[in-house]
Amino acid sequence: MAILEGRNLRKTYRLSRANNVEALKGVEVSIEKGEMIAIMGPSGSGKSTLMHILGLLLAPDPNHGPAAELYLGGEDMASLSDNARTKIRARRMGFVFQDFNLVPTLTALENVTLACEYAGIGGKQARQAGLDALALVGLADRAGHKPAELSGGEQQRVAIARALVNRPEIILADEPTGNLDSDRSAEVLALFRQFNREHGQTIVLVTHDAEVGEACDRVIRMRDGRIRDHGRGVAAPVLPAIAATA
């Protein structure tokens, strides 16, 4: 069953009056529940934009032609208000970014429980969930440290704990290993794989890194705002033939 499905996804950035960039030129994509997939492609291929649309951070352009469609677990996401999309991000999704993106004034634990607060969980329950999530990424003893007191790898693991703390259905990660050396990258990937296996979480990684791609179940390859290869190769599960039109 597809947890995320999109059709006719387009996005044009208007940089100036005469300079429009078509980041996505009508993309059709389907991600199965429990998949760990990589979206790969050169810079400017539209992979981050696709991830942002799938993560409800960006709304797809309203098209002149066939309307943009986006479904999360079968529910229509294309016409939701900003507030409704924010709520879904808080409760059903987890995000990891390249630059770790922790709040500098908060401790590791507070950074993690921030996600609980936004999902409507507070107090002791949030604290316990935060500590559990930090323990999962192996940082239980660093809970009281501020980001500046943590190494890059540790900061990224805090960010992963934050993405995990609400047990979201989907984790979306934009270049999560982009600023890490290869040992730390391997640790982070192993964590993602562990959650994917143990909790059945769907994981979508945007990456440049071929090794990251190899560690995933499937690689979607993008170029010039279109998907060139849905990656349903040998290892990929059998999917409905929606890719035929691509």
Partner 1 sequence: MRLVRDLGRRKLRSTLTITGIMIGIMALVVFGSMANKIDALVKGGTDYYKGKIVVNAKGSYMGFGGAPLSIAVAGQIGPLAGVDVVVPYVSLSLSDEVSGVSMGPAPTIQGGVAGADKGREKFPMHYATGRALEATDEGHNVVVLGSDLARKYKAKVGDTVILRNVKFEVVGILEPTLTAPDNSAMVPMTAAQELYVQTLSGPVADKLNTYEIATGLVVYPTPGTDPENLADTIDAKIPGVTTMTERDFNQQIGAATSMLNAILIGIGLISLLVGGLSVINTMAMSVAERTREIGIKRAIGASRWRIRREIVLESALMGLVGGLLGLLLGFVITTLGNDAGRDSATILFDLTFGTAFASVSFATILGAVAGFIPAWHASRLDPVTALRYE
Which residues contribute to the site for partner 1 (CB under 8 A)?
52, 55, 57-58, 82-83, 86-87, 89-91, 93-95, 97, 101-106, 110, 114-115, 118-119, 162-163
The two tokens of residue 43 are 């810079």
Query: Cα Rg for the chain, rounded, in angstroms?
Result: 18
The two tokens of residue 191 are 């964590």
Task: Say how far apart CA 27 and CA 198 lie, in whole Å.
Answer: 31
| Residue number, 106 or 242, with CB nearest to partner 1 | 106
Count of residues making up the chain: 246
Closest approach, Cβ 11 to partner 1, in A, equals 10
| Residue number, 37 or 116, with CB nearest to partner 1 | 116
| Residue number, 71 or 118, with CB nearest to partner 1 | 118
Cα 139 to the chain's mean position, in Å?
Answer: 22
Closest approach, Cβ 102 to partner 1, in A, equals 8
| Residue number, 163 or 219, with CB nearest to partner 1 | 163
Task: Say how far apart CA 203 and CA 197 lie, in whole Å.
Answer: 10
Closest approach, Cβ 159 to partner 1, in A, equals 9
Contact 31, 204 (CB under 8 A): yes
Closest approach, Cβ 166 to partner 1, in A, equals 9
Contact 194, 187 (CB under 8 A): no
Closest approach, Cβ 129 to partner 1, in A, equals 14
Contact 158, 152 (CB under 8 A): no
| Residue number, 91 or 232, with CB nearest to partner 1 | 91
Q: 3-class DSSP state for residue 118? A: helix
| Residue number, 2 or 107, with CB nearest to partner 1 | 107
Closest approach, Cβ 88 to partner 1, in A, equals 8
- Neighbouring CB atoms inside 10 A of 199's CB total 14
